[in-house]
Structure 1
Amino acid sequence: MTTTGDPRRVNYAKRTADTQAAFFTRHLRPGISLLDLGCGPGSITVGLAERVHPGSTTGFDLHPALPEGADPDAVTLVEGDVTKGLPFEDDSFDAVFSSAMLQHLPDPLAVLHEVRRVARPGAVVGLVDADWDGQLLYPTNPLLEASFEVMRRLRAGTSPSVGKQLRSLLVQAGFVETESYARVVHHGTPEEVAGVGTFTASLMSGQRDQIIEQNIATGAEVDEMEHAWQLWSADPGAFLARFWIEAVGWAPEA
Structure 2
Amino acid sequence: MSSAQPTTYTQGHDKSVTANHARRTAEQSGSFVLPHLKPTFKILDIGSGPGTITFGFAKYVPQGSVTGIDLSDEVIAQAEELLSQQDPKPKNVTFKKGNVLEGLPFKDGEFDVIYTSQVLIHIHDPVTALKEMKRVCKPVTGIVCSKEGDWPLRYVPYTRGLQLFHYWFYQMIHGKAPEEIRHPDQAPFAPGHRGGSLLHVWAREAGFDPKRIEKGASVQVYATEEQRGFYAEGMVKRIVDGGHGEKFKSLGATEEEVQEIVKGWREWGENVDGWTATVDCEVICHN
Q: Same fold per TM (> 0.5)?
A: yes
2:281 maps to which of 245, 248, 254? 245
Aligned to 2:180: none
Q: Deviation string for 1:12-44 (max 9, x for gaps)? A: 010000000010111010112111111111100
8 Å contact from structure 2 (residues 161, 263) kept in 1: no
Matched, 1:180 2:180: no
After TM superposition, list the pairs within 5 Å mapping 1:102-113 onto structure 2.
102-113=120-131
1:142-181 correspondence runs (5 A): 142-157=160-175, 161-176=194-209, 177-181=212-216
Whether 1:15 and 2:24 are equivalent positions in the alignment is: yes
Distance 2:278 2:170 in 1: 16
Moved segments of 4+, more than 4 Å: 157-160
**Letter of the 1:61 counterpart:** D
Offset, 1:160: 8.1
Q: Contact 1:179–1:249 at 8 Å: present in 2 too?
A: yes
Could you tell which deviates more after superposition, 112-121 or 190-199? 190-199
TM-aligned CA deviation for residue 72 of structure 1:
6.2
**Partner amino acid for 1:130?**
G
Task: State the TM-score, normalized to the length of structure 1.
Answer: 0.90
Secondary structure (helix, strand or coil) at the match of 1:237 reads coil
Equivalent residue, structure 2, for 1:236:
272
106-115 or 135-144, larger mean C-alpha shift? 135-144
Structure 1 contact 202–226 (Cα < 8 Å) conserved: no
Who is 1:213 aligned against? Answer: 250
Checking the alignment, whether the CA contact within 8 Å between 1:106 and 1:157 is kept in structure 2 is no
Partners in 2 of 1:192 and 1:58 — Cα distance?
Answer: 31
CA distance in 2, matches of 1:60, 1:24: 18
If each structure's strand is expressed as a fraction of its own residues, which one has the higher value? 1
Deviates more, 1:72-81 or 1:40-49: 72-81
Q: Which ranges of structure 1 fall in alignment gaps of 5 or more residues? A: none
Residue 227 of structure 2 is matched in structure 1 by 192
Cα drift, residue 229 of structure 1: 1.0
Alignment partner of 1:222 is 2:255: no
* Match in the other structure for 1:128: 147
Deviation digits for residues 39-83 of structure 1, max 9, x if unmatched?
Answer: 111100112121112112211111332424233632121102222
The answer (yes or no) to whether the contact 2:101–2:132 under 8 Å persists in 1 is no
> Structure 2 unaligned runs (5+)?
1-12, 177-191
2:146 touches 2:283 (CA, 8 Å); kept in 1? yes
Task: Give CA-to-partner distance per residue, 1:201-236, whole Å, 9 cap, x none.
Answer: 22332312222233x212232112101210111011
Normalising by structure 2, we get a TM-score of 0.80
The answer to whether the aligner puts 1:99 opposite 2:114 as a matched pair is no
Q: Which residue of 2 aligns with 1:119?
A: 137
Q: Find the residue that maps to 1:76 and give its secondary structure.
A: strand
Report if the CA contact (8 A) 2:145-2:282 is conserved. Answer: yes
Code of the aligned partner of 1:22: S
Deviates more, 1:175-184 or 1:225-234: 175-184
Q: Please, which of 137, 141, 156 is the counterpart of residue 138 of structure 1?
A: 156
CA RMSD of aligned residues (A): 2.0
